[in-house]
Structure 1
Amino acid sequence: MKIYPIETGNFKLDGGAMFGVVPKTIWQKTNPADANNLIDMSMRCMLIENGQQLILIDTGLGAKQSEKFFSYYYLYGDFSLNSSLKKLGYHRDDITDVFLTHLHFDHCGGVIEWNTSKSMLQPAFKNAKIWSNNAHWKWATEPNPREKASFLKENIFPIEENGQLNFIDNNGQNSLGFDILFMDGHTEKQMLPKITYQGKTIVFMADLLPTIGHIPLPYVMGYDTRPLLTIKEKDNFLKEAADNNYYLFLEHDAHHELCTVMHTEKGVRLKNTHKFIDIFN
């Protein structure tokens, strides 16, 4: 098995929305905001070579939305999914499986694209199975008012229409070579891959832990549908991560790829941050 971080692009989100009830005077120490109160965010995905499988975890925003849509999120930097794959000698058509942690647009937007003439939508990974789970799919295709703007039908319904949709079962059993942790605080049945690699454990954090600034328990996003449940899930997970020295792969932290955590008198806190290549080679 080989694992690679895949940078698909950076964007900005409102710092207040990202930290909920935590005051700006506190959260800006780890996540400084610009003049518009926006903080830096990454859309860092993961590529796994596992025998004959080439698995992509999440896809970033993609490129099919309107200029107006993208203007809301202040995209910046030179990263793209295509260029990141190319650096590794791969193309979208080589991907055998796309695993979606959940169906919010910044995690799944790249799974569907326009055709050349922009007359119809088509699979961005034409040879891949696309993985979700039944409970989350139902949640996303019958969205609640709070999340409706994050579940874009043009990202979701074509997956099924194209015949690519596959479901992970309720116990997390799968053929992808890693375990899955289900989390319900951010959205129904978000899936976090838990991967044994080079004798260590990596957990792809998705939106349970967006950045290192979100490690303290009350630091929960305003986007979460069940914030008290997020706190409970995060508490249980971070204790386990500290006990077992898990490496936490940060999808949304624009400045840190990995972190580890440790127990302190104040609860679980940051231990170290790392570049992926410095730990795994």
Structure 2
Amino acid sequence: MERPAWAPPGIDISVPSVSRIYDYYLGGSHNFEVDRQAGRRAMEFMPGLPKIMQANRAFMRRAVRHAVAEGVTQFLDIGSGIPTFGNVHEVAQAASPEARVVYVDHDPVAVAHSQAVLDGDDRTGVIAADLRKPKEILEAPEVGRLLDLGRPVALLLVAVLHFLEDADDPYAAVAELRDALAPGSLLILTHASYEGIPLTEEVAGGVVSVYRDIRNPLVMRTRERIIPFFDGFEMLEPGLVSMPDWRPDRPAGALDGEAAEDPYAFSGFGGVGRKA
């Protein structure tokens, strides 16, 4: 297997990665054949997976613009993946030149590619760290350099919490991050769920088995189990909803572009909360 020039030395390119599969779904070019094979296998069960990822990205962009409109110009994006067109720093800096962003991921390809993309951007940084270890994230030099935790920060946990099993205690990790944030900070979150998927749970479960096979368990939580991630935050209207339904860029009754016409776009949940 030939190693592309952009692949960091030392990583095993025979093992699929969640962030590179996501990149493949979004039409990116930073993925290997092993990632594409896993992505195609998952799409045999759920052909609308790329639409779900597009809905995630569209939600993220609307939420980032909303944060800037509320005066929040600091962003901590954990599980940020491989930066593709319209990523957090592009959206935030287009809305406010003052915006500062720290990307966090534990995938070496995502980190290396982020560093290459961000080279020369002194308002944006990237760190290699894991959501399961919030203290390491909060104490990272790049966080200290770019973010003032005494002022409101938008914490992004977009399409990442469903890769933490209950044994990892994701609720405690989110609570530890919340406690480090100033009042007025925002939590921007999306999470996979069987709710909203236009398939039986049995068929959709095939996707879960694909991720289990690549040793990245995908945990489908119900709406009732996602809501507690917002403990300590006041949910902003319209609450925890399907992603195209969160403050859509469309007049009432109109469809939100192509993604919303596809029933898969309404799979899972997205929401934003504000720390009191």
Q: TM-score range with shorter-chain normalisation?
A: 0.3 to 0.5
TM-score (norm 2): 0.38
Bigger strand share: 1
TM-score (norm 1): 0.38
Bigger helix share: 2
